[in-house]
Each structure stands twice: as C-alpha cells, then as structure tokens.
Amino acid sequence: MRMWWFITTLAISAFICNSPVYAYDNNPLQDICVAVNDSQASVFVNGKICKDPKLATANDFYFSGLNVSGNEVPGLGFALKTVDVNNMPGLNTLGITLVRADLEPQHIGPFHMHPRATEMITILEGTAYAGFLVPDPANFFKSRLFSKILNPGDVFVFPQGLIHFLYNMGYKKATFLFYFNSQNPGFVSIPYSIFASNPPISDDILAKGFQLNKTEIAELRKKAHSGWRSQQSFLHTQGSNPRPLVKGEAPTSAPQLMLDICIAVNDSHASVFVNGKICKDPKFATADDFFFSGLNVSGNPATLFGFAATRVDVTTMPGLNTLGISIVRADLESQGLVPFHTHLLATALITVLEGTVYAGFLVPDPENFFKSRLFSKILNHGDVFLIPQGLIRFVYNVEHKKATFLASFNSQNPEAIMIPSSIFATEPPIMDDILAKGFQLNKSEIAELRKKFS
C-alpha cells in the first residue's frame, strides 16, 4: 500500500513538473479582485491582496488622463504615464498593463527587456525606429535584429524577454501606447542594471565581459549612476512603488514559449491542429512578421450596430503566435454600439482616442446567479477602462459624432462571443422553444430576432 502511494505521488509530481505553464500572470479565481493598498502589510502575496468584492466600484476599473503626457525622466528625453495595478486597482490578477510614452526628437528608449511580458506598441504621433534582438541558436554570441520604421497607425510587437529599443528618428515628439500582458511586466534596463548595480560588479568582470578597459568602465559607471538617480527621482515624483521581481509567477492566457519566436503559418488546410498556430522555421522569420500598418484608419462598419473593427492579432501579425497579446481598433458611429459580448480568453483594456463612450461590464452576484452588478463609466479622450476576462460587456457612443477607442487583450486570440448573434444565428439553429423559454419571448419575437441576426 505504501509503495502504491509512493508511485502515485511520484507520478502526480512528474505530471505537474512537466505540464506546460500558462502565460503570463496567475489566473483569477474569482470575477474581480480589486487590489488593496498593502504597502504596510505584514503579509506579502504574488500580486496584491483583494478587498471585499462587495466594496468594489467602477472607479476601481477606471483611469483618466492618458491623453496628457507624463512627467519627463530627467536627462533621458522621454516621459511615461503608467496605468497599472497601483493606479487602477481593478487590474489585480488580470494580467495586463498600459503605458503612454512620449519620446523627444532624436532620443531613445534605451535597450531593455521585460522578463514577464510581451510588449505590443502602437504609435499615435511621430516617426520611430523600433527593434528587438533574437539570439542566434547557432551562436550565442550573436543575435538577429528585427526592426521597423513606425509611423502613426503602425503596430509592432516585442516578444517576452527579448532585448528591444525605440528611437525617435524624427524632428518632433513621438507618442506611443505600450501594452503588456502582465500586471507587473518588470523592466530590466541593460545599461543601468549592469553598470549601476548594488553592490557593483567588479571592474575586472565588466572589462572582460564588455571588452573595455577600466577607464572606459569607470566612465560608463558614472553615466549609468547618473541615469539611475534620474530614474529614482522620477519614480519618487510619480509616487510609484514598483514591486520587485517575484519568483514563480505563473503566466496566463497563452502557452509558455519554448522558442524565442514562433511565427504562425497559414494552416487553414492543415491536417494537424495545435493550441495556437504551428510555427515556421525561425530562420525564415522577418521583421514583417512582427509588423502591422493601418491602425490609424477605420475598418469597414458593421451596419447593424454601427461599429467597425480593425484587428491586430495572430491572423494579421503572425509574429504574435504564442505571445499572448493582441489589439483592436474600434470606430463607433453616432449612437453606435459594440453589442453585448464576452472574451473568454482575455481581459480587455480600453483606451478612448476620440469622442465619448459609455462602457460597462456585468459581474455575477455570488448570492443570486440570476442577478449581476453593472460597473460602468462615461469615458472621454484619454480615459482608460478595464473589463475583466470572461465578463459580459458593451461600449456605446453617447454622442452625435464618431468615437474611436483601442482595446488590448492579453491573448493572441481573445475570440469574441457576441451574445445576440451567437445565440440567435447559430448553425444548426437553437430550437424556438428553448429560445422562447430562455429569453421569455414568444415565437414571433424569436423569429424576428433570428431574421435580424442572421
């Protein structure tokens, strides 16, 4: 009996250790988990502790001011404004973060990487040169550069953990939105993290590692410490209290990568199906696989509801495969509606670029499954609203002019389930009796709804 228990335990342990880890943050175990300001807490958790869901309000899922530049990092020529769990506590456990960045002409967002997140950027203003480095599997001392010149409406993706940069090559300010599929993506700056470490790395090691003499090392230390102090001053003025890296953060929303890049192959006729898309040989990958142009232009309108959508997902940017992030531009006509729908695979972060919209989502009442709570907000230009994964939501244009927003998802394929059409336009159709019973409608009303949604 003891031997059987030992073998069973060993088998279960082996299964757990060898099971795929899912990306990028822990999956939520409840509908909402609004972060509590726990800076003085004596108990530390992976993320932040939650307040009682009954005390949550729409403000926990709201941020205003993304239409305005943040404070400039002294001496570095860029300004950041972050929407994360520290200023939008409803983000807790939902695995997504948004940053606005403004980069002065001829300045660079320095080489860095995010250990826990893929980064998807879209440029709103200006022209920039962006690139990331992929290690050469045949020679660890070499890497491949994937780079693009980006103009307004272009989208580029930096895979998780790869070194990347952003350079404003124009003569006016460039403005970007950065989306991360983690509530705490982490930031490792390659110059500062090495040359301004505490305690410092010895000169001999730096000189050997970078093939520099000690005079050059001393000069780099001086510059790095100057930049580090600028960043510390900037964080202090922002009131930010960044959380240190935490071991064992289980990623969510997409399978963990086993390769640096896995470019999707058009496999519509494939006889083998995988969770995601099959990959092409990394040697054949190009920068175009990580590039999309046209997010500054509206898509074709859906006449029934008066909205148009332009998708940047794995079908239009194959380099997104396995990286767990996507973005959609939505344009709403006057009084247009993005109808009731849900994304089972992703949390959504909405940023209004133009106009005024009314957005809301429904949280089931744990004491009565037939009831729910509505969390809603009027959103203006620069406002950000968070909609947790799997909850029913909507967005409505309350004005008599067009409204435009961006929605980012922490999945390469969030797959929208439209509540009206998915029910009334199924193939084969759901029986009238079931629909009539489920929606408390008569059969003539059911027939009318079928006609509209078909």
- CA-CA distance, 333 to 404, in Å (whole number)? 9
Query: 273 φ, ψ to 5°?
Result: -115, 140
Is 236 annotated in a binding site? The answer is: no
Is 343 annotated in a binding site? The answer is: no
Q: Whole-angstrom distance between the N-terminal and C-terminal Cα of the chain?
A: 61
Which residues on neighbouring strands pair with residue 359, listed in sequence order? 377, 395
Torsion 156-161-162-164 (CA) sign? positive
* Contact (Cβ atoms closer than 8 angstroms) between residue 324 and residue 256: no
Which residues on neighbouring strands pair with residue 175, listed in sequence order? 102, 125
Is 400 annotated in a binding site? The answer is: no
* Contact (Cβ atoms closer than 8 angstroms) between residue 155 and residue 327: yes
Place of tokens 């148009």: 308
Is 125 annotated in a binding site? The answer is: no
- CA-CA distance, 422 to 406, in Å (whole number)? 23
- CA-CA distance, 118 to 323, in Å (whole number)? 6
- CA-CA distance, 199 to 182, in Å (whole number)? 29
What is the SS3 string spanning 115-170?
Answer: CCCCEEEEEEECCEEEEEEEEECCEEEEEEEEEEEECCCCEEEECCCCCEEEEECC
- CA-CA distance, 98 to 177, in Å (whole number)? 7
* Contact (Cβ atoms closer than 8 angstroms) between residue 405 and residue 351: yes
**How long, in residues, is the chain?**
454
Contacts of 68 (CB under 8 A, 6+ apart): 81, 382
Indicate the annotated binding residues. 112, 114, 119, 164
Indicate the annotated binding residues for oxalate. 114, 119
Indicate the annotated binding residues for Mn(2+). 112, 114, 119, 164
